[in-house]
Amino acid sequence: FDQKLDMIAELEDLLGTEVDIVDLEGADPYFIHQLLLNKVLIFEKDLNRRVEFEVKSRRMYFDMLPFYNLYHAQAMKRLERR
């Protein structure tokens, strides 16, 4: 955790903006899907590992999509009632 905070502080100093570091291995499929839609790949150490991760993540997202859609629809109904 301290290493993560040190990396965040160093990156913020270098970039002059707020930074957050997320471990994608444990991230929510919806979050990863949004990231993959908007990604700008800066560095790639292992092409095969990245592709495997992206394929696995997209499969998980599309498996969960009906639940995300239901959740979103229910949230919109609750907002409309206010």
Per residue in 10-56, pLDDT (tens digit) is: 999 999 999 998 889 899 999 999 999 999 888 899 999 999 999 99
What pLDDT sits at residue 82? 85
What pLDDT sits at residue 1? 76
Measured CA to CA in angstroms, residue 78 lies from 14, 65, 68 at distances of 43, 20, 15
Element (H, E) at 65: helix 47-81
Phi-psi region of 46 (alpha: psi -120 to 50; beta: other; left: phi over 0): beta
The pLDDT of 67-81, averaged and rounded, is 95
The amino acid that residue 5 corresponds to is: L
d(CA 63, CA 55): 12
